[in-house]
Amino acid sequence: MTAALTLPPDPRLEGTLSVLSPSGELLRPDLVPGDEILLKLYTGMRRARVFDDRAMVLQRQGKLGVYPCFGGMEATQVGAALALQDGDWVLPTYRGTALAMMRGMTLAQILLAWRGHPAGYQVDPKLHILPFYIPIANQIPHTAGIALAEKRRGTGLLAMAFIGDGGTSEGDFHVGVNFAGAFCAPAIFVIENNGWAISTPTSVQTAAKNLASRAEGYGMPGIRVDGNDVLAMYHVTLEAAERARRGEGPTLIEAITYRILPHTSSDDPKRYRQETEADAWRGRDPGMRLRAYLESRGMWSEEQEQDVMKGMEAEIKAAMLEADQAAPIEPEALLEHIYAEPLAEMKDQLAEIRALEALK
């Protein structure tokens, strides 16, 4: 793996925090975490990238449903995830597979989720991970509510949500972030600004100079960070988490990255954009960046790289076998795992489904 040496400046990155240059040169020595964290950040990104690449292959083989790939954006999720404590809540978007992996969701369960199997969305409640959100921005009011609940319970825990740049144009984004600000909830809102809301560029969906500037209207800090720099992402999230735990309220983080891959496995980005910009961002690959830095310090070798790759391939193979053994989907599963106590209408519908099944 070779890091890019020189890249043209990108105006989207103006004013963002970076710890490493795209070629892995150290820009902010004061913000480098300890060696153990450095290695966790790198291996977390590599594992996520291997899974993402494999998932796209599995989808083409008919072994997954529509899959929202994230390759090239993993630093945003991995850096933020590692900055949290055990017990903190995370609310991912549909593109949040790396976030879920970092927070303990098993690969088998992730595979089942992208097969549309109910078991993929019944996450272990101890993990404090909510299922992948398909509706846009619904997770933002939920994040505010969870954070406020933890504040009132005095647990010291926080809630962190991810959302794409397109999602910030939804009403639920405004409602949730404003609520969190008004009630000084311990929340972190991460905008993964990858430049595209499916086929709509950020410059078309908003006249705002940047999305972090919206934070002022909600009474909270707005931070802009290079989302392809995992060290910068780790640092700003850690600061936001510490601020939340001190009782100082929520933070809005705008992570500038780029969706170099299709929106999902069913998308063709060549229909609405030129790939020259995506090609430039491939030179800002987050894994290449950190690996170059680690190698410069003698902390990483090709042997270690191959160990991670082989280990991840074995994990994916085992996860596929486990997912293939999942129980068949029963029709009544459509009405389960929705409310803690089913509504009366749902009980009637469930009884009807079971009656129909009994006639088969």
The question of whether 259 is a catalytic residue gets the answer yes
Name every residue whose Cβ is closer than 8 Å to that of residue 360 and which is 6 or more positions away in sequence.
none
User: Beta strand 200-201 with 222-226: parallel, antiparallel or unpaired?
Assistant: unpaired
CA–CA separation, 207 and 168 (whole Å): 13
CB of 260 closer than 8 Å to CB of 268: no
Return d(Cα 143, Cα 163) in angstroms, integer.
Answer: 11
> How big is the CA angle at 138 (ends 155 and 319), to the nearest 5 degrees?
80
Strand boundaries in the chain, DSSP class E: 89-91, 159-164, 187-193, 196-197, 200-201, 222-226, 251-256
Instruction: Determine the 3-state secondary structure of 61 from DSSP.
Output: coil
Catalytic residue, candidates 263, 284, 289, 291: 263
Identify the active-site residue in 60, 152, 272, 354.
272
Tokens representing residue 273 in the block = 């954009």
Tokens for 151?
Answer: 């504040």
Cβ atoms of 133 and 95 within 8 Å: the answer is no
Helices 230-245 and 74-82 meet at what angle, rounded to 10?
40
Active site residue 272: yes
Catalytic residues: 259, 263, 272
